[in-house]
Structure 1
Amino acid sequence: MSMKKSSYKFILSGVFFALFLVLIALIKTYDVAAIGPEETEIGFSHLNGAVHEFFGYSKFWYFLTQIFGLLAIGVVLQYAVAGAYQLIKRKSLARVDAPILLLGGLYIVVFGLYGLFEKVIINYRPIIEEDAEHVEASFPSSHTMLVCVVMGALILMINKYRLQASSSDRLIIRIIAAVVIVLTVIGRLVCGVHWFTDILGGVLISATLLFLFSGLLDKIEIKR
Structure 2
Amino acid sequence: MAQMDLSPEKKKVADKVVILSKELIILVIVFTISLFSFLFIAYRVFYLDNTGADEKAFAIAHSLVSSNTTKIMEFITFFGSHYFMIPANVLLCIYFLVKKRGRYSIKVSAIALSSVLIMFGLKLLFNRHRPLIPLLAPAKGLSFPSGHAFMSVCFYGLLMMIIWKEEKAHPVLKWTLLVLVIALLLSIGFSRIYLRVHYFTDVLAGYCIGSTWLFLSSYIIDRIQPAGLKKIQVS
Residue 106 of structure 1 aligns with which residue? 111
Task: Tell me which of the two structures has the higher relative contact order, counting C-alpha pairs closer than 8 angstroms and 6 or more residues apart.
Answer: 1
Task: Tell me the distance in 2 between the aligned counterparts of 1:80 and 1:214.
Answer: 15
In 2, Cα distance between the equivalents of 1:78 and 1:175? 22
Change beyond 3 A, Cα 1:105–1:161 = farther
- The aligned amino acid for 1:5 is K
Counterpart selection for 2:196 from 174, 192, 198: 192
Partner of 2:94: 81
**What amino acid does structure 2 have at the position aligned with 1:19?**
S
In structure 2, what is the equivalent of residue 47 of structure 1?
A: 53
Question: What is the CA deviation profile of residues 48-84 of structure 1, one whole-angstrom value per residue up to 9, with x for unaligned ones?
Answer: 2333244236733541233322554443121232366
Cα distance, 1:123 vs structure 2: 2.2
Q: 1:61 & 1:113 partners in 2: Cα distance?
A: 29
Structure 2 segments unaligned to the other structure (5+ residues) = 1-15, 225-229
Note the alpha carbon deviations across 1:7-64, whole angstroms, 9 max, x for none: 2113431331132123223321113xxxxxxxxxxxx233323332442367335412
Q: TM-score, normalised by structure 2?
A: 0.67
Q: C-alpha separation between the residues in 2 aligned to 1:216 and 1:6? A: 13
Matched, 1:5 2:18: no
Percentage identity across aligned positions? Answer: 19
Q: Which amino acid aligns with 1:55?
A: A
- C-alpha displacement at 1:125, in angstroms? 1.4
Q: Is the 8 A contact 2:131 2:199 kept in 1?
A: yes
Q: SS of the counterpart of 2:93? A: helix
Map 1:102-141; keep pairs closer than 5 Å.
Answer: 102-127=107-132, 136-141=141-146
Count residues with an aligned counterpart: 201
Counterpart contact for 1:155–1:177, Cα < 8 Å: yes
How far apart are residue 147 of structure 1 and its match? 1.6
What's the C-alpha RMSD, in Å, of the aligned pairs? 3.6
Question: Which residue does the alignment assign to 1:68?
Answer: 79
Tell me the TM-score normalised to structure 1 length. Answer: 0.70
Structure 1 unpaired stretches of 5+: 32-43, 90-95
How far, CA to CA, are the matches of 2:55 and 2:85 in structure 1?
30
Q: Which has the larger radius of gyration?
A: 2
Partner of 1:35: none
